[in-house]
Structure 1
């Protein structure tokens, strides 16, 4: 069984010798599973749940920690690092999953070895690097159903004895998985790296990359809506009756939408505007300078990145328009010192600067929110990690980090609400002729009969019985946070191929802002994480068995989600939920019962609970649509207090199981390799409100692949099938109170195709 080499601890070492919780996905596995974007990673990492969000957004959950939505002014709980450069925006993870050396998924708080701190974990995407004295390359071409094309290639060229150039590119395209053409993909990317190594002690590597995404973008379907039983005071779920394969813009879904009552506007909804698209581009440059001296190795990584987002996307609640520009610069310096006596050490410093400027419109027809903002983040940090080699088998590890974050936010939200002043005989608002708000870039483009009122005032909408209300929320604020976090650990080599490790570490994520009334600011979150584990090679290197137990304790945990703000308007904001405890066990095994047979299994048991989780919603005279107990706030009768304490954390199946088998059949100079893998996830909540419709039942997803090629594996022809069960499993739901509709985001259906691999 071969060794996997990682650099997750800022040094080159075997995965089996690293006393940390980390999953590693090799280049071969990434190609095999056709991992072309971040949303595909969860198929190979049991602890991770990833799905595409609205527009260019990607949503990450790791062991029950993450956000339901992301925007230009909230930080992710999971740090995403591309070629050792932290990416501040989850949108920027597009177009980089090609010509990779490996993918590392670290679990738990990071900071004592990494530039930007994170509380839940880190994902390291590491591209293949240029090599001296070597002319080589690779080509991967894949074709499949839904018009799928996935082409990637790379070439490595030596330039004299001291330089090398590596050029790689990728093109991914497939038709929409939904009936309206949504959930498609159209991405093109390129990467150029130049290496200069005049001696074994010094090197410079430059990396420049560019990618663009087009097409329609992610899509979803209607799950249903909720109807209030006025006699019992309880809501009942009314399924839409529409299959999850039917996208929001299809005729069937548009007809369903027109049956939904738009609350205070006094009429039903119009069809969604079907002009949806994404036109995004991402680019970055970085340098990696390494200088080895008698005292140790100095690494310096300056980097700059830029993203430009132009999206129009559809969800049940609205058409979203995003015009956003993100710019970031960073500088990381690390010194990996030469051992002093029994002490190994790494010292580091980090600087991060980001500016996000954006214009957004979330057109909900009966309500339309316009947002303009500039958000700036400046972060400084110093960190250190020491390893005291007490004996040749026992080590004590200590790490510390000081982080200083400053965030400045200048923005304003203008929310326009169509309110009906006419009541029918049942006291229900009734304005069938009142116009609904169209999708416009700015509110000054609203057509007649709309008359734009001054801030926080109203104007009648012609003679329709409707009123156009404007609520403005300006936010001009600054937050300064600083925190010392640390790590303590021990490592013991039980045997030459058996490692025991244990650690305690703390983590911190800074607070921030939003443009939703009543939620303009949120506080930092904190975590204490306990880990104990063992990594083993047994029975003559035929069995690899890794075990890990963990306890994560969060305070003031942040969750970003859709909901009603203090004015009763639909918004997207971050809240500090309170305390939670996530604990569990992971077991990962690989077994070679015979030379050409490989069996694998990984199991995660997760017991994750919100111990203290309360939030508020405005009291509009009707009960809130939630699955948790609630009361009218005695201190403020205009709002409900909702208590979800004791609930399972989001995206937290108690059991996750991955099983795999691979059989190689030698045929002289060639071979046939057949493999099958399957993943099981138990029941879990995938929506914020804890509604019954937000529970996803237990499910299996299986994949098959067979390949034929030469025994040196320089070329192969592969046939594959993914999602053999052909089930569209719900990965995320959102409840849009403004239209009383549940959104279902699902996995792709069964896909199949052929792939050709060639290395030279």
Structure 2
């Protein structure tokens, strides 16, 4: 499309400024002798900071251009698994996104927890998983790096990184676009963009996106309250690009997103499983019965709301990237950001007198209120030195996040009656790192890469678990036996950890078409703390052991061999074979060490992960393209001591199907008018996978499934407008993203977080 080509041509940059993305289309006839006239996308991978084409990048990475995202109808992160192998991105209810890459994930999405996969927006780390479901609009591309990224990144990148890269302003001419979509579930989407050069050396780019739909759930017929919008998001971005002189340029960007809508995707466990008393369920988990029910039945809420739910939030931030070419070989890059995120949630969902929580049902009734305020700053200063022999990068990185939350399960501060909740703050996380990585040309075809990163992490929290009958404003954590018959429990803790991660790699050009590489790398995620306080802490009325309060960092050592083929016949194939040694796994379970039922993280396990990935793109003819991604994954615990009697050695890791396959086919019909009709068909197969029940050490098994998408797109002869009809998940497969039992005796049910059902609609767009 016209705007697409403008963007590609104008964003090409040199490897010295590789942190700016470049998408440069190259005529296939220019690239190689072939009977194919289809343009082949040559994507420059920015996340490796080397400025190399995808086929020449010695790392397991999937890069999706804005064109590929549009063709596939990818509008938010949860759809990325439709195109990228060995990645799962699910909604974990109010806990935000759950990202799993090659079986590596995290289960603590609270203010004190860290993800295992690093989610980046324009290279800026986004700490809170609840702020990661951003709208995909006006993008250059998305890059998914699989495997630990412990040198150039390091901040919670044990599993890998997902980097969402926005389009930047261009200096060539003014242009703009508008895209919209309507569909079932009252889906309404609209995106508008304008690029405005204001001089020969400065340009602005503004984009706005609106995304609204109804919930995918069906309410209980007996409930008097509506479920509300499933999503109601409004996002805006303003970017400025300035060439200060021939050697210095600056990119400044500000963005804002209103994140309203319930986002509810939780139903009763019995919608999908034959639920028995947890004490009688076999070790391999309950019997799956979801295949005996319709999509509508699976998506129907089984409890009756006693109050109108209200969910809302917003996030905004500013960032600056400065590139200074000090001389022909040395470049300095500064990347800095400040961001804020807030949550304002109120919900109540009852079933048989029990309040549904993320982990099950508790026999109480009253409003849940969550108020959270988070702010983060990050600064990175990096130097790049490039000559004919080497490419060196090194710098310093600093990150800080501070948050305040108040989570009230029931009761209101300053009123008579019981109050149970968790006021926490400040919760502070600080990280300081020094890193360096160099690639050295040993000869014409052979290169050696060495890298290391030293990271120092500090975490602290001041807070409490409030569990008493009366509470006066302001919150008072002092125990008073006359007014507080059940004492408060402080949640005060402070820890510091440091680690050195490293990378060693060799890559060899067998010839112009084949690249062979091998990598040994390490990853690290800092330790942390659970709820509670240790004996000797002032006003600590429910002390726990220090070994129960704190947990240690987790580490991964990864071994990988890869082969990349870029053949003259239009076939590109990338193959990766890998092995992980995963130690000190941070795993969460339910425990009563906090004086009641709470989620506790421990270094309970170790795992070994083996896998094979094959990605191929074949330009069969000028009008036919085939995409294939195949994976084999053997991810299992080598040790997981759940309790004194249960060890899960040999069990599969969460969300780790042994086999998956993604197959996509595209055919372009060229019309006599010069217009074209593009037909896209893709299907994703997943083998069965397990989800371990928090607190019961039993697996829920999601059976194997297939989800198929189809779209037909008409592009005008001038390439300045299009219209597309689409269906996603034709089979209407509603699968489980997370599941758990109720931890409360007497309740045999629990909850399930579900994925999206079948959706259909029409997209359209124009450029000017």
Separation in 2, partners of 1:169, 1:228 = 49
Query: Secondary structure in 2 aligned to 1:686?
Result: strand
Q: Relative to structure 1, is the Cα distance of residues 235 and 206 closer, same or farther in structure 2, using a 3 angstrom cutoff?
A: closer
The equivalent of 1:396 in structure 2 is: 448
Name the structure 1 match of 2:685: 680
- Asked whether 1:576 is paired with 2:581, we answer no
Aligned to 2:414: none
Deviates more, 1:504-513 or 1:732-741: 732-741
Contact 2:94–2:263 (Cα < 8 Å) also in 1? yes
Please, which of 749, 754, 757 is the counterpart of residue 746 of structure 1? 754
Residue number among 457, 462, 466 corresponding to 1:405 in the alignment = 457
Structure 1 residue aligned with 2:713: 707
Query: Is 1:533–2:566 an aligned residue pair?
Result: no
* Equivalent position to 1:483, from 482, 488, 499: 499
For the 8 Å contact 2:95–2:109, the answer to whether it is kept is no
Stretch of structure 1 that moved more, 503-512 or 50-59? 50-59
Q: Provide Cα deviations, 1:212-261, integer angstroms capped at 9, x if missing partner.
A: 111222221112343267899999779799876468985xx12xxxxxxx
Deviation per CA, 1:411-460, whole angstroms, max 9, x where unpaired? 111346xxxxxxxxxxxxxxxxxxxx9xxxx9669xxxxxx99859799x
Aligned length: 678
Per-residue CA deviation, residues 364-418 of structure 1 (Å, 9 max, x unaligned), is: 99994434332111111110111110111100000010111111121111346xx
Distance of aligned partners of 1:615 and 1:233 in 2 relative to their CA distance in 1, 3 Å threshold: closer
**Residue 22 of structure 1 pairs with residue 61 of structure 2:** yes
Within the candidate set 506, 527, 538, 1:511 is matched to 527
**What is the correspondence of 1:297-308 to structure 2 with a 5 Å cutoff?**
297-308=331-342
Does 2:497 align with 1:497? no
Which position in structure 2 is the counterpart of 1:326?
A: 374
Match of 2:653 in 1: 649
Q: Could you say which residue in structure 2 is the equivalent of 1:462?
A: none
Deviations 1:261-300 (A, max 9, x none): xxxxxxxxxx554432221010000111110021411100
CA deviation after TM superposition for structure 1 residue 81, in Å: 1.1
Inter-CA distance 456–79: structure 2 relative to 1 (3 Å threshold): farther
* Corresponding residue for residue 90 of structure 1: 129
**Aligned twin of 1:348:** 395
Paired residue for 1:317?
A: 361
Q: Distance in 2 between matches of 1:234 and 1:9?
A: 41
Q: Counterpart of 1:55 in 2: which secondary structure? A: helix
Which residue is 2:669 aligned to?
665
Give secondary structure in 2 for the equivalent of 1:226.
Answer: coil
Counterparts of 1:557 and 1:156 in 2: how far apart (Å)? 47
1:714-752 deviations in Å (ceiling 9; x for gaps): 321100000100121112212221244221211221110
Question: Structure 1 residues 453 and 594, CA, compared in 2 at 3 Å: closer, same or farther?
Answer: closer
In 2, the alpha carbon distance for the partners of 1:391 and 1:492 equals: 10
The question of whether the paired residues in 1 share the 8 Å contact of 2:265 and 2:755 is answered with: no
Q: 2:637·2:648 contact (CA, 8 Å) conserved in 1? A: yes
Matched with 1:211 is 257
SS in 1 for 2:642: strand
What do residues 666-696 of structure 1 show as CA deviations (whole Å, max 9, x unaligned)?
0031011111000011011123358777100
Deviates more, 1:130-139 or 1:16-25: 130-139
CA 1:751–1:98: 2 relative to 1, 3 Å: same
Deviation at 1:348, TM superposition (A): 1.5
Contact kept? 1:537, 1:543, Cα under 8 Å: yes
Could you tell me which residue of structure 2 aligns to residue 145 of structure 1?
A: 184
Shift in Å, 1:497 = 2.3
Post-superposition Cα deviations, 1:172-219, rounded to whole Å, max 9, x if no partner, equal 011011012368111100000011113331101110000011122222
- The reply to whether residue 593 of structure 1 matches residue 611 of structure 2 is no
**Separation of aligned partners in 2, 1:709 and 1:138:** 14
Q: Does the CA contact (< 8 Å) of 1:570 and 1:736 recur in 2?
A: no
CA distance in 2 between partners of 1:553 and 1:644 (Å): 17
Alpha carbons 2:154, 2:524 under 8 Å: kept = no
* Cα distance in 2, alignment partners of residues 238 and 752 from structure 1: 28
Q: Deviations over 1:300-347 (max 9, x none)?
A: 0121000011113454536643211111111101111132x6222011
Q: Would you tell me which structure has more strand in proportion to its own residues?
A: 1
By how many angstroms is 1:530 displaced? 0.7
Identify which of 162, 165, 186 aligns with 2:232. Answer: 186
CA distance in 2, matches of 1:247, 1:273: 22
- Structure 1 distance, partners of 2:249, 2:141, is 22
8 Å contact kept, 2:251–2:322: yes
From 544, 557, 560, the equivalent of 2:572 is: 544
Residues of 2 paired with 1:274 and 1:43: CA distance? 37
What secondary structure is seen at the aligned counterpart in 2 of 1:119?
coil
Distance in 1, Cα, partners of 2:281 & 2:677: 66
Note the alpha carbon deviations across 1:620-671, whole angstroms, 9 max, x for none. xxxxxxxxxxxxx4xxxxxxx4311211111100001100100001003101
TM-score using structure 2 length = 0.83
Gaps of 5+ in 1: 255-270, 417-436, 446-451, 460-467, 617-632, 634-640
CA, structure 1 residues 371+231, in 2 after alignment: closer, same or farther (shift >3 Å)?
closer
Equivalent residue, structure 2, for 1:725: 731
Per the alignment, residue 384 of structure 2 pairs with 336
Flag the 1:709–1:407 CA change in 2: closer, same or farther, 3 A.
Answer: same
- The question of whether the paired residues in 1 share the 8 Å contact of 2:150 and 2:521 is answered with no
Contact 1:373/1:412, CA 8 A, preserved across alignment = no
| Equivalent-residue separation in structure 1 for 2:282 and 2:512 (angstroms) | 67
Which residue of structure 2 lines up, in the alignment, with residue 266 of structure 1? none
| In 2, Cα distance between equivalents of 1:16 and 1:237 | 45
For residues 161-176 of structure 1, the aligned pairs below 5 Å read: 161-176=200-215
Is 1:282 aligned to 2:315, yes or no?
Answer: yes
Distance 1:549 1:232, change over 3 A: closer
Structure 1 residue corresponding to 2:437, chosen from 367, 385, 394 = 385
Q: CA deviation at 1:709?
A: 1.3
Q: Does 1:607 align with 2:634?
A: yes
Conserved 8 A contact 2:256-2:315:
yes
1:554 to 582, 604, 618: 582
Residues 302 and 331, structure 1, Cα contact 8 Å, conserved in 2: yes
Residues 35-57 of structure 1: per-residue CA shift (max 9 Å, x gap): 33322222222211111123261
2-structure distance, mates of 1:248, 1:231: 24
Q: Distance in 2 between matches of 1:235 and 1:497?
A: 48
| Match 1:359 to one of 402, 406, 414 | 406
More deviation in 38-47 or 515-524? 515-524
**What are the equivalent positions in structure 2 for 1:408-447 lying under 5 Å apart?**
408-415=460-467
Give distance in 1, aligned partners of 2:284 and 2:74. 44
Q: Where does structure 2 lack aligned partners over 5 or more consecutive residues?
A: 1-39, 220-226, 350-355, 412-416, 533-543
Change (3 A) 1:9 1:232: closer
Kindly indicate whether the alpha-carbon contact (under 8 Å) linking 2:336 and 2:379 is maintained by their aligned counterparts in 1: yes
Instruction: Go from structure 1 to structure 2 and tell me whether the alpha carbon gap of 1:719 and 1:691 turns closer, same or farther (over 3 Å shift).
Output: farther
